[in-house]
Amino acid sequence: MARYRMKPSVFLLLCVFLLSLVSIESLFGAERGTKITWYRADFPPVTIPDGPRADTGFFDKAMNQIVEQLDGYQHVFAEANFKRIMAELKNSSDVVCCPSLYKTKEREKFIAFSGPAMIVLPNGVISSKKNQEKLSPHIDEDGIISIRSLLQDKKTTLGISSGRKYSGGIDEILGEFGGQRNLVVRPGIDVFKGLMAMMQEGRIDSLLGYPIEAEYFLESNNQAGDYIYYPIKESSVEFTIGYVGCSDSPEGRQIIEQVNEIVKRYRDNTFIDYYGTWLNSATKVIHQKMAKKYYQSLGSDQ
């Protein structure tokens, strides 16, 4: 049987062609860069991943500002509850980031955090006016409520979201009452809306959340004035701090270094305005003064 022998010139052309394919693939791969999966919860008005008001949450806007200036990466967006987001940050082999996180010692074991990105007014107890009398034994003359007293009262129920951190010493108190029937832990992608629905249905008497969450819900459902916000007696902070977090890997830490530079440019102006969109005019002024004072107190490396 006769053998076909490739001419040297044809062989050379084939090699050049194959090498060019490899070069093109390498070029496009370099342009695409490392993939970052940005996880957000359904947590209006902090993050709003979908629906008619998608990407209008204050941390949505901050995230988009950051993404626009992070060159050389593939950005992918996903939605999950906080419990799932924590699992992805901890266990995923890919780079995972979340634009709206609280920092805790436990989370610092597996998350690389940015510097302070957003100053947020603290969580409080939210309830309907019809439950005011039921909660009154736990509210002082200044309208401040004790959640320890509230949870010691087996006749009242408090709703919280699974996987969410409430900060300011609140999580430690919730831990003392974990497993009690009057502390209702709700799973689900939406962090606040489902709890409000449970309260409307009479399944819980109150819930933990931000004043901006209540404002958003009331505005969306034309129910202004139906609910009351109570500051928490045991809270140790006048405000809480939101951070951007990524997987604690070499790639994740490198991304956070770049995120930090972007955050520092916008947190004391543009990011304050993003948050202020969801406040009434009086509260907006208080927040602006509080946030600017805090950022001015930080060193240049924070």
Q: Report pLDDT for 280.
A: 74
For 121, other C-beta atoms within 10 Å of its C-beta total 20
pLDDT in tens, 179-196: 999 999 999 888 788 999
Give the residue-averaged pLDDT of 89-109: 96
35 φ/ψ angles, rounded to the nearest 5 degrees: -85, 130
What band does 267 get if pLDDT is binned at 50, 70 and 90? very high
Contact 142, 232 (CB under 8 A): no
Lowest mean pLDDT among 12-21, 116-125, 149-158: 12-21
Residue 31 has pLDDT above 70, yes or no: no
Query: What b/e string do you get for 260-273 counting C-beta neighbours within 10 Å, with b at 16 or more?
Result: bebbbebbbeebbe
Residue 29 has pLDDT above 60, yes or no: no
What band does 7 get if pLDDT is binned at 50, 70 and 90? low
Q: Report pLDDT for 21.
A: 43
Contact 192, 213 (CB under 8 A): yes
Q: How far apart are CA 92 and CA 36, in angstroms?
A: 11
186 φ/ψ angles, rounded to the nearest 5 degrees: -105, 120
Residue 296 has pLDDT above 90, yes or no: yes
Q: Report pLDDT for 279.
A: 84
Q: How far apart are CA 42 and CA 49, in angstroms?
A: 6
3-state secondary structure of 90: helix
Residue span(s) of the chain under CATH 3.40.190.10 come to 31-120+239-297, 124-231
pLDDT in tens, 196-255: 999 989 999 999 998 788 888 877 877 666 788 888 999 988 888 999 999 999 999 999
Please state, rounded to an integer, the average pLDDT across all residues of the chain: 87
Q: Report pLDDT for 16.
A: 43
Q: Report pLDDT for 189.
A: 80
- Structural domain 31-120+239-297, CATH architecture: 3-Layer(aba) Sandwich (3.40)
Q: Report pLDDT for 18.
A: 45
Tell me the fold of 124-231: D-Maltodextrin-Binding Protein; domain 2 (3.40.190)
Q: Report pLDDT for 4.
A: 45
CA angle centred on 239, ends 235 and 241, rounded to 5°: 115
pTM: 0.71
Q: Report pLDDT for 100.
A: 96
3-state secondary structure of 243: strand
Looking at the DSSP assignment, which residues form a beta bridge with residue 101? 243
- The type of residue at 229 is Y
Residue 156 has pLDDT above 50, yes or no: yes
Q: Report pLDDT for 55.
A: 96
Q: Report pLDDT for 224.
A: 60
Burial class from Cβ neighbours inside 10 Å (0-12, 13-18, 19+) for residue 70 reads middle
Q: Mind giving me the DSSP string for 2-48?
A: PPP---HHHHHHHHHHHHHHHHHHHHHHHHH-EEEEEEE-BBTTTB-
Element spanning 158, H or E? strand 158-161
Give the residue-averaged pLDDT of 242-271: 97
Q: How far apart are CA 288 and CA 197, in angstroms?
A: 31
Burial class from Cβ neighbours inside 10 Å (0-12, 13-18, 19+) for residue 187 reads exposed
